[in-house]
Structure 1
Amino acid sequence: MDRKNFLRNSLGLAGIAVAAPTLLRSEIFSEEITVNNIAKSLLTCTVTNSETEGPFPTHTPSSLVQSNIIADRTGVAFTMNIYIKNTNGNCAAYQGVLVDVWHCDKDGNYSEYGGTTMQTVNYTNYHFLRGRQTTDANGLVSFTSIFPGWYQSRATHIHVHIYKPDGTSLLVTQIAFPEGTTSAVYNVNVNGTSYGYTKGMTGYTYNASDNVFSDGTSTEMSTVTGSLSGGYTLTHTIYVAGAVLGTQEVANTKNFKVEQNYPNPFREETVFPITLNEKSTVSITLYDASGRKLLTVIDKQKLSAGKQEIKMSRNQLKSGMYVAKITIDNSKGTFNEDLKVLVN
């Protein structure tokens, strides 16, 4: 079975009571811009399209924890900055998830495979252009690589597999590249002969004709900047349906667990349950759906280890949806969690 047929067939805190907070007027802070974006995305962000792993997935990705994935390959310098966001968490940055990437070399070949009609060159004992990283507090993973080549029936692309910390699969997808005569794809393949790219664009399969991208590339299209001499940088955001808002899959790593406030919706008072594995400094700030800072529930309060229940009264809040920004600072670092808060 050749690649084209394979792809076609594969689609198909304890008892702490906090005094009533003071309602602020119209102070706008730079941090509110971020919250504003989060609030707006509550109703707009969607999971990135799922795609086939293709015929060349990594055999043992846990053995390839590395950010530089070039190995012995040559080509145009290439950096990948991939952000993971959680549609079940206000589409905020998703920290602590595993991200695997892999792609072909400048000649269109994959490591860990070969010696068959699907790929004649045998690279079964090579492990180039494959890597795994864990997302940071910004949901970011970065990889140093070379610009991918292309092969028959496929546009230039990168494979991505995202897992929860326990190894449960969240999403398999692919990243598409902008095309056209001013694009990096065109420049590398037409003008990159001195870097070893010899195929040109003759016979290239464009995104619109690529079976894998037949459902469109609106959620998979990346941004690519740079030059041949300076190298290119890809930036892309992938949305996954991860942990439900208010839960923490990596609580042990972060030394805390944030749960959804209750009741939610509420009329008079609500409680934010936070379990701390060590003494921490905690702040909770409430914003409206436009990103305007309304009130501070607690501000850099030092709390002991254990389960804490932080109370917030309705005060002057009108019925509607709000975003509670929770900041926790401890020996593991500074972490932010965002909760959707509903008032009846």
Structure 2
Amino acid sequence: MSIDRRVFIGAAGAIIGGTLGGVGLSEAAEVLGGRKPITQKEWEALYRSYGQAQFTCVRTSTAVEGPYYYDSSPLRSAIAEGHPGERVRLGLTLGGMLSPVANRCFPLAGAVIDIWQTDAAGLYSNAGGDLQTVDTTGQTFLRGHQITDEKGYVEFDTIVPGWEVIAVPPPVIVGARTTHIHVKAYHGRDVLTAQLYFPDPLLDQLFADVEPYKSHVMMTAPGLPKSYARVRNVQDGLFLADKSEPMTVEQINGVLTAKATIGMISQGNRGITPLFR
């Protein structure tokens, strides 16, 4: 994500005694990049919009970010940069929910969906040689972000990731992860971090029969004493802890296509200045 989209919106100065250089609070809010208090008319429009839920969804489990995220991925839909692997078209729909128990979502337009993943060999871009066997510092492969349309939808052209292994502090020692894609969704002041998974049968077939996956069923990382065998979803502690479900994946017009709906708690499109932009 381009760094200018991630500038924290902070106050330009303190408001003392309810004014800023003789400017009232409402005017000061505009001067400082904020907005005027919501009006009754705006509230009624916002309330009506809550009744326009268009699809069923559930709240997406919040997942750990991991060590490989950084906030300068390119604005683009094609992210592989020529890295080999099974091509996959990833379609994501971002829905807003008023509460954790709601089962209806309204589309969140104008949100930032940022994704990052490994290549088929389990390597991330912009990762140092102390974390993985290849130093990829400064590279941007398999990272990118898109802005959701009026239906809350974005699409990426990527490849099926590999799996990964990393040395972690004792007592765990080794962290082995199944194939997954990391996601951050930014909408207004709401941020959701999640991980997306692929069905085990598809992965079993790729790692058994398809290069370059079949050459990477064993992995190691700096600080680990040996190589480790690939783990499946049902062997991944984070997958189990989050009670995750794999994405729906099917062949459409000869292209492997993965679909997922991400549900996050949101007050909808209120026009509030985003925390990150």
Q: Name the residue aligned to 2:82.
A: 72
| TM superposition shift of 1:200 | 4.1
**Alignment correspondent of 2:133:** 120
Q: 1:187 matched to which residue of 2?
A: 205
- Residue 137 (str. 1) matches residue 147 (str. 2): no
- 1:209 is the counterpart of 2:235: yes
- The Cα of 1:206 is off from its aligned counterpart by 2.0
- 1:133/1:36 CA distance change after superposition, 3 Å: closer
User: SS in structure 1 opposite 2:208?
Assistant: helix
- Post-superposition Cα deviations, 1:102-153, rounded to whole Å, max 9, x if no partner, equal 100000000010211x212000121000000011111111001111111231
Contact 2:112 2:187 in 1 (8 A): yes
Deviation at 1:197, TM superposition (A): 4.2
1:196 to partner: Cα distance = 5.7
Paired residue secondary structure (1:131): strand
Q: TM-score, normalised by structure 1?
A: 0.53
Q: Secondary structure at the match of 1:212?
A: helix
**176, 185, 199: which one pairs with 2:216?**
199
Q: Structure 1 residue 240 and structure 2 residue 264: aligned?
A: yes
Q: 1:157–1:175: 8 Å Cα contact kept in structure 2?
A: yes
The amino acid that maps onto 1:234 is: A
Q: Is the 8 A contact 1:46 1:239 kept in 2?
A: yes
Match of 1:98?
Answer: 112
In the alignment, the residues of structure 2 paired with residue 36 and residue 161 of structure 1 have an alpha-carbon distance, to the nearest angstrom, of 22
Q: Deviations over 1:10-39 (max 9, x none)?
A: xxxxx9xxxxxxxxxxxxxxxxxxx7965x
Query: How many pairs were matched up?
Result: 204
CA gap of 1:233–1:96, structure 2 versus 1, over 3 A, is same
Q: State the distance in 2 between where 1:230 and 1:192 align.
A: 16
SS in 1 for 2:113: strand
Q: Does 1:158 align with 2:176?
A: no
Q: Runs of at least 4 residues of structure 1 off by over 4 A?
A: 35-38
Q: Is the 8 A contact 2:190 2:266 kept in 1?
A: no
Once the 2 structures are TM-superposed, how far is the Cα of residue 217 of structure 1 from its aligned partner? 3.4
Q: After TM superposition, give the deviation of residue 85 of structure 1 in Å.
A: 0.5
1:105, 1:169 → 2: CA distance? Answer: 29
Give the CA RMSD over aligned residues: 3.1
Q: Which runs of structure 2 are paired with 1:319-330 in the superposition (5 Å)?
A: none
CA contact (8 A) 1:79 1:232 kept: yes
Identity in percent: 29
Deviations 1:130-178 (A, max 9, x none): 000011111111001111111231111000001125xx45200101111
Compute the displacement of 1:93 (Å): 1.5
Structure ID, larger Rg: 1
Name the CA distance, whole Å, in 1 between partners of 2:146 and 2:272.
15
Q: Which runs of 5+ in 2 are unaligned?
A: 1-40, 42-51, 166-175, 219-227
Preserved CA contact (<8 Å) 2:53 2:106:
no
- When you count strand as a share of all residues, which structure comes out higher? 1
Provide the residue aligned with 1:48 in structure 2.
60
TM-score normalised to structure 2 length: 0.65
| Amino acid of the structure 2 residue aligned with 1:222 | M
Q: Which runs of 5+ in 1 are unaligned?
A: 1-14, 16-34, 252-344
| Letter in structure 2 aligned against 1:51 | A
Q: Which residue of structure 2 aligns with residue 85 of structure 1?
A: 95
Shift of 1:47: 1.9
Using CA pairs under 8 Å that are at least 6 residues apart, name the structure with larger relative contact order, 1 or 2.
Answer: 2
Structure 1 residue 233, shift from structure 2 partner: 1.1
Deviations along 1:253-298, one digit per CA (max 9) or x if unpaired, are xxxxxxxxxxxxxxxxxxxxxxxxxxxxxxxxxxxxxxxxxxxxxx
The CA deviation at 1:211 is 2.3
Q: Does the Cα contact within 8 Å between 1:66 and 1:132 map onto a contact in 2?
A: yes
* Structure 2 CA distance for aligned equivalents of residues 101 and 49 of structure 1: 16
